[in-house]
Amino acid sequence: AQSVSQHNHHVILSEAASLELGCNYSYGGTVNLFWYVQYPGQHLQLLLKYFSGDPLVKGIKGFEAEFIKSKFSFNLRKPSVQWSDTAEYFCAVNARGFQKLVFGTGTRLLVSP
């Protein structure tokens, strides 16, 4: 069975600090990987996705993520966070050929101005 681990449950940063949120998954086969963001009081929105090709994926709002197959990781990064990045971030994985998307438990990011 697939599973996803997000190591940091809460992260607090000052504006302009760099961000890296960890995501590891367990599944031996080919996977599709996603990061979703949920702003306060809103629904989940797709930040970026990896299906194949270049393991460095660029998403919206300056976010990027790197797929490292040997480490089963898909960490999310942003060089300089803004107050508006305050949100909860979810990593998700789908094993190729399976319908279900499995989510991590989420990381709450608070950016102080």
| Site for another protein contains 74 (CB under 8 A) | no
At residue 61's C-alpha, the angle toward residues 109 and 10, to 5°, is 10
Hunting for tokens 């797709």 — which residue is that? 46
CA distances to 48, 56, 59 from 65, rounded to whole Å, are 8, 6, 8
- Measured from the CB atom, the residue of 49 and 77 that comes closer to another protein is 49
| Site for another protein contains 26 (CB under 8 A) | no
Token pair recorded at residue 11: 């992260």
CA of residue 5 relative to chain centroid, distance: 11
- Measured from the CB atom, the residue of 43 and 113 that comes closer to another protein is 43
**Which residues ranging from 38 to 57 are in contact with another protein (CB under 8 A)?**
42-46, 49, 51
Q: Which residues bind another protein (CB under 8 A)?
A: 4, 6, 9, 32, 34, 36, 42-46, 49, 51, 90, 94, 96-101, 103-106
